[in-house]
C-alpha cells in the first residue's frame, strides 16, 4: 500500500508542480531585456507621423512617386530599464537591425534615418535635415541618443558629406562621424545594410558595425570613447526615425533585435508550497512475501489494481477540467498582455467615479454603440471620453482579441483608444477627449449662430480623413474596414484636425446581433448601393462614405434633407451631380462661406466627392489616390458628366450565407450588377 500511495502522490506532484516555477517579470528595474523581431508587428510597435507597416517591414517616410517632404518614426512600445538603483549600475546594450534606403531618383537624395534612445515615447521631428528626430521650431525639446545614417550634406549641422554615420546626443551636430564608403558601402545603394551597435558601459565605448552581409565584421566603422551613463535614464524608449524634403527617398527597417546586459541575472521564483525533491523517497522499501498471508495478498492485489484505476479516473477528470481552465486563463492573460503596452484596463469604479456615476450632465454624445460621457480623473487631472454600452460580451476572449487589434492602430488622425473595462455586464471604452466635439455638430448645428466652419479647416479635415483611411486600408498589417464613416464619427481636436472615431466598433457590436442585422450596419445616406444590396463591406464602401462626407463638407448640406418647407427629400449626391452636368459645379458650395474659399480647391473637393460616390465601385479611386490628389501629388480623376445608374440583376438570387460570407472566391458583389450610363 505504501508504494501505491507513493505512486498517487508522485502523479499529483508531477501534475501540479510544473506551473509554480516562474521567472521574475522582465520589466522590473535591474533586469535584462532581450527581443528579436525577424518580422515587425504592430503589437510591439507605435507608428508616428508618416511611418507605416507592410508585410513585416516598417517604412518611415511616404511612398510616393513624386518628390515630397515627410517624416516618421517607429517606437518599441515598452520602456527599457537602463539603470539599476539597487546596484547603481548602468546597463550595456547591443542592437542589430537591417535597413535599406531606396530612391527612384538618386539625384534627389536625402535625408536619412536614425536609431535612437529617448525618455519620450512620442519622439517625432520635422522633415528634411532634422531626420524626423528634432522639431525645427524647438531644436532642444527632444532628448535623445541617436546613431544617424545621413544621406545629405547639410552644412547647418556640420555634416562632413552625404554618406556618413554619426553619434548624436541631444543635437544633430554629431559628436563623431565616419564614412561607410571606406568599407565599400553606400547608404543610398538600395541594398539591405546590416547594422550592429554595441555600447559597453564597463569600457565607456560605443561601436557601430556595418555590412552588406549578415555576418558581423571584425572591425567597427565607428568607435567612440564616451560614457553614456549620464544620458541613459532609469527607463528609455527605443526606435527609428527618418525624413525627406523634396525627395523620393524611401527608408525601410526590416528586422530588429535588442538586448541589455550588465544587471544581475534573474533567478527563478519557487512557489512556497512546492514539495522538495528530497521529501520523496527514491527507493521505497519493498514488502517481504509471507506465505501465511496469501489471502491478504489477494485482497491487496485487488485493491492494488482497483485503487489506482479509480484514482486515475478521478485524476483524468480533474486534470481535464484543470487544463481547460488553465487554457482559458492563459488565452485571456495573453490577450491582456498584448493590450498592456497600449490602452490600460480601468476598473468600473474608476470610470463611475470619473463620470459622477454616469450622471446625465456628463453626457456629451449618443450613438449606435451607446452613450458617451466626459470623464474627469481628479488624481491625475486627465480628461477622457468614456463610451458606455450595455451590450454584454459573453465571449470575453473573442472581444479582447478584437480589442487588441484596435489597440494597435496608431495614426495622428485617429481618436486614440486609452483604455477599456468589461465589468458588471457592461463594455466601456476610454478615448481621448476631443475639445471641439464632432464634425456633425460643428458643420450643421453650431453654424446656425453665424459662425460657419472656415474653408481652410474644411480642406484640412478632408486631407486628414483621407490620410487615416489610407492607413487603415493599405498600411496596416491587417486591413481595417471602418463601415460607418460619417460626420458624427469624425471628431475635431483643439486645432480642428480630423480624428476618426468608432473604428472597428461595428464589428464588435456584431456579437450581439443576428447575421441579418449586419447587412445594414452603418447610417443611411452614407451607405454604398452594393453594400445596401448585398451587405458585404469592403474598402470601396468606405470610399463611398468618404465621398459623401466630402460633399457634406463642401456644400454644408446633409446627405439626405428636406427641400425648404416641402416634404420632398433631396439626395446630396444627385443634387451635386446635376449641377455638375449643367456646368455649374461650384454653385454647390456652402452659401454660408460667402465665397471665402479657393475656387480650385472647392472644385477639386467636389469632384473627389463625386468620384468617390460613384455608384460603380470599380470606378471609385483608392484612398491613397485621393490623398495624393488632395496634396497635388497626382492628377485629378475624370468624372462622368452624367451620374451612372445602377441596375441589380434579379436573376442571380443569393442566400444569406452568400451575402455575409467573407470568402473571396466565387462571384463577388461587383459581378452581380451592371452600370448603365443614361
582 in helix, strand or coil?
coil
DSSP 473: I
Q: Enter the C-alpha cell of residue 524.
A: 443611411
8 Å CB contact between 71 and 124: yes
8 Å CB contact between 37 and 56: no
Of the candidates 612, 630, 629, the one whose C-alpha atom is nearest the C-alpha of residue 621 is 612
Cα–Cα distance measured from residue 311 to residue 544, given in angstroms and rounded to the nearest whole number: 65
Helical axes 539-555 vs 455-470, angle rounded to 10°: 180
387 is annotated as contributing to ligand binding: yes
* Strand ranges for 302-351 from DSSP E: 344-345
State the DSSP H helix or E strand holding residue 368, giving kind and residue range, or none if neither: none
Cα pseudo-dihedral 587, 588, 592, 597, rounded to 10:
-70
Cell 498589417: give the residue: 477
Cα–Cα distance measured from residue 613 to residue 640, given in angstroms and rounded to the nearest whole number: 12
State yes or no: is 664 an active-site residue.
Answer: no
Angle, vertex CA 78, rays to CA 77 and CA 80, nearest 5 = 135
Burial grade of 184 (CB within 10 A; 0-12, 13-18, 19 or more): exposed
Angle, vertex CA 181, rays to CA 178 and CA 187, nearest 5 = 85
Residue 515, phi then psi, degrees to nearest 5: -55, -35
Q: Enter the C-alpha cell of residue 576.
A: 451635386
The contacts of residue 317 (CB under 8 Å, 6+ apart) are none
Cα–Cα distance measured from residue 485 to residue 490, given in angstroms and rounded to the nearest whole number: 8
Cα–Cα distance measured from residue 648 to residue 660, given in angstroms and rounded to the nearest whole number: 18
Q: Which one from 84, 154, 484, 502 is the annotated catalytic residue?
A: 484
62 in helix, strand or coil?
coil
593 in helix, strand or coil?
helix
Cα–Cα distance measured from residue 327 to residue 321, given in angstroms and rounded to the nearest whole number: 10
CB neighbours (10 Å) of residue 282? Answer: 6
Of the candidates 196, 49, 198, the one whose C-alpha atom is nearest the C-alpha of residue 131 is 49
8 Å CB contact between 193 and 113: no
192 in helix, strand or coil?
coil
Helical axes 599-612 vs 455-470, angle rounded to 10°: 40
State the DSSP H helix or E strand holding residue 196, giving kind and residue range, or none if neither: strand 193-200
8 Å CB contact between 355 and 373: yes
Q: Enter the C-alpha cell of residue 398.
A: 473573442
- Report how far Cα 104 is from the mean position of its chain's Cα atoms: 29
Cα–Cα distance measured from residue 532 to residue 673, given in angstroms and rounded to the nearest whole number: 13
Helical axes 455-470 vs 623-630, angle rounded to 10°: 150
| Residues of the binding site for ATP | 387
Q: Which residues are marked as active site? A: 484
Amino acid at each position: 500500500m505504501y508504494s501505491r500511495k507513493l505512486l498517487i502522490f508522485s502523479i499529483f506532484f508531477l501534475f501540479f508542480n510544473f506551473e509554480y516555477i516562474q521567472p521574475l517579470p522582465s520589466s522590473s528595474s535591474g533586469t535584462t531585456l532581450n527581443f528579436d523581431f525577424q518580422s515587425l508587428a504592430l503589437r510591439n510597435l507605435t507608428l508616428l507621423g508618416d511611418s507605416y507597416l507592410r508585410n513585416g517591414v516598417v517604412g518611415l517616410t511616404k511612398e510616393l512617386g513624386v518628390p515630397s517632404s515627410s517624416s516618421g518614426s517607429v517606437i518599441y512600445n515598452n520602456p527599457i530599464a537602463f539603470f539599476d538603483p539597487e546596484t547603481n549600475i548602468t546597463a550595456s546594450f547591443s542592437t542589430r537591425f537591417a535597413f535599406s534606403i531606396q530612391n527612384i531618383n538618386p539625384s534627389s537624395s536625402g535625408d536619412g534615418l536614425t536609431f535612437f534612445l529617448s525618455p519620450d515615447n512620442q519622439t517625432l521631428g520635422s522633415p528634411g535635415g532634422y531626420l524626423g528626430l528634432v522639431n525645427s521650431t524647438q531644436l532642444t525639446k527632444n532628448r535623445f541618443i541617436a546613431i544617424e545614417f545621413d544621406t545629405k550634406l547639410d552644412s547647418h549641422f556640420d555634416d562632413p558629406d552625404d554618406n556618413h554615420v554619426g553619434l548624436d546626443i541631444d543635437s544633430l551636430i554629431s559628436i563623431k562621424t565616419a564614412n561607410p564608403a571606406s568599407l565599400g558601402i553606400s547608404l543610398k545603394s538600395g541594398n539591405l545594410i546590416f547594422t550592429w551597435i554595441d555600447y559597453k558601459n564597463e569600457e565607456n565605448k560605443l561601436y557601430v558595425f556595418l555590412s552588406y552581409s549578415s555576418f558581423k565584421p571584425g572591425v567597427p566603422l565607428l568607435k567612440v570613447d564616451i560614457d553614456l551613463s549620464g544620458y541613459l535614464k532609469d527607463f528609455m524608449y527605443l526606435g527609428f526615425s527618418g525624413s525627406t524634403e523634396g525627395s523620393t527617398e524611401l527608408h525601410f527597417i526590416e528586422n530588429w533585435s535588442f538586448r541589455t546586459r550588465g544587471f544581475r541575472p534573474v533567478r527563478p521564483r519557487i512557489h512556497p508550497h512546492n514539495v522538495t525533491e528530497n521529501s520523496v523517497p527514491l527507493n521505497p522499501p519493498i514488502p517481504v512475501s509471507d506465505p501465511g498471508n496469501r489471502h491478504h495478498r489477494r485482497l491487496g492485489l485487488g485493491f492494488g489494481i482497483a485503487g489506482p484505476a479509480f484514482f486515475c479516473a478521478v485524476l483524468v477528470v480533474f486534470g481535464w477540467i484543470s487544463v481547460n481552465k488553465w487554457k482559458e486563463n492563459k488565452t485571456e492573460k495573453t490577450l491582456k498582455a498584448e493590450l498592456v503596452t497600449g490602452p490600460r484596463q480601468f476598473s468600473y469604479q474608476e470610470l463611475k467615479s470619473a463620470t459622477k456615476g454616469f450622471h446625465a450632465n456628463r453626457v456629451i454624445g449618443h450613438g449606435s454603440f451607446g452613450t458617451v460621457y466626459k470623464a474627469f480623473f481628479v488624481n491625475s487631472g486627465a480628461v477622457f471620453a468614456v463610451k458606455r454600452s450595455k451590450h454584454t460580451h459573453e465571449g470575453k476572449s473573442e472581444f479582447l482579441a478584437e480589442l487588441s487589434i484596435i489597440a494597435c492602430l496608431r495614426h495622428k488622425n485617429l481618436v486614440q483608444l486609452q483604455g477599456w473595462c468589461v465589468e458588471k455586464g457592461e463594455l466601456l471604452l476610454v478615448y481621448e477627449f476631443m475639445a471641439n466635439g464632432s464634425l456633425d455638430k460643428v458643420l450643421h448645428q453650431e453654424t446656425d449662430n453665424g459662425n460657419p466652419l472656415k474653408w481652410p479647416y474644411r480642406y484640412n479635415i478632408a486631407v486628414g480623413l483621407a490620410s487615416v483611411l489610407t492607413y487603415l486600408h493599405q498600411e496596416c498589417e491587417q486591413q481595417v474596414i471602418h463601415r460607418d464613416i460619417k460626420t458624427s464619427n469624425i471628431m475635431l481636436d483643439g486645432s480642428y484636425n480630423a480624428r476618426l472615431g468608432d473604428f472597428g466598433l461595428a464589428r464588435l457590436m456584431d456579437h450581439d446581433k443576428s447575421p441579418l442585422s449586419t447587412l445594414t450596419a452603418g447610417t443611411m445616406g452614407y451607405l454604398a448601393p452594393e453594400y445596401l444590396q448585398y451587405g458585404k463591406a469592403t474598402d470601396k464602401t468606405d470610399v463611398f462614405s468618404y465621398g459623401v462626407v466630402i460633399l457634406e463638407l463642401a456644400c454644408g448640406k446633409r446627405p439626405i434633407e428636406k427641400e425648404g418647407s416641402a416634404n420632398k427629400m433631396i439626395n446630396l449626391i444627385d443634387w451635386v451631380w446635376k449641377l455638375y452636368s449643367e456646368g455649374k459645379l461650384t454653385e454647390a458650395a456652402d452659401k454660408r462661406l460667402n465665397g471665402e474659399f479657393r475656387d480650385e480647391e472647392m472644385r477639386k473637393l467636389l469632384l473627389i466627392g463625386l468620384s468617390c460616390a460613384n455608384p460603380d465601385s470599380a470606378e471609385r479611386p483608392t484612398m491613397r489616390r485621393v490623398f495624393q490628389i488632395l496634396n497635388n501629388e497626382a492628377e485629378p480623376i475624370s468624372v462622368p458628366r452624367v451620374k451612372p445608374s445602377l441596375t441589380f440583376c434579379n436573376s442571380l438570387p443569393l442566400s444569406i450565407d452568400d451575402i455575409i460570407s467573407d470568402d473571396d472566391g466565387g462571384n463577388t458583389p461587383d459581378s452581380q450588377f451592371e452600370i448603365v450610363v443614361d
